[in-house]
């Protein structure tokens, strides 16, 4: 059991909120900056413009495919977390 509710005692939305505002936010930095950096890198790799919003959507898609393979609470938490940071980025435009 970890401190972020892996024992299922904490709602996945609360867990996602804690992850995107707590220590992980401090470890990885501002979500707008991070999604923008990934979008820039993917734009070069795929030779087409990628937006931070598309990065968040792609990460959600990745988590959905993982969930289709193996049912894990972590996938649901991460889907909620990517939805939250995608919304943050969209509202900062």
pLDDT digits (tens, 9 = 90+) for 8-29: 667 999 999 988 887 777 788 8
Residue range 30-45: mean pLDDT, rounded: 95
Q: What is the pTM of this model?
A: 0.83
In whole angstroms, what is the distance from residue 61 CA to residue 3 CA?
26
* Phi (first) and psi of residue 14, to 5 degrees: -65, -40
Q: Which two tokens stand for residue 21?
A: 């505002």
pLDDT band at 93 (very low <50, low <70, confident <90, very high): low
The domain spans of the chain are: 12-91
């Amino acid at each position: 059991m970890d401190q972020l509710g892996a024992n299922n005692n904490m709602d996945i939305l609360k867990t996602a909120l804690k992850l995107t505002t707590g220590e992980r936010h401090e470890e990885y930095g501002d979500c707008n900056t991070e999604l923008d950096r990934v979008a820039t890198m993917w734009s070069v790799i795929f030779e087409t413009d990628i937006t931070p919003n598309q990065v968040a959507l792609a990460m959600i898609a990745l988590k959905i495919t993982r969930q289709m393979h193996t049912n894990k609470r972590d996938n649901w938490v991460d889907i909620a977390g990517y939805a939250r940071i995608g919304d943050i980025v969209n509202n900062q435009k």
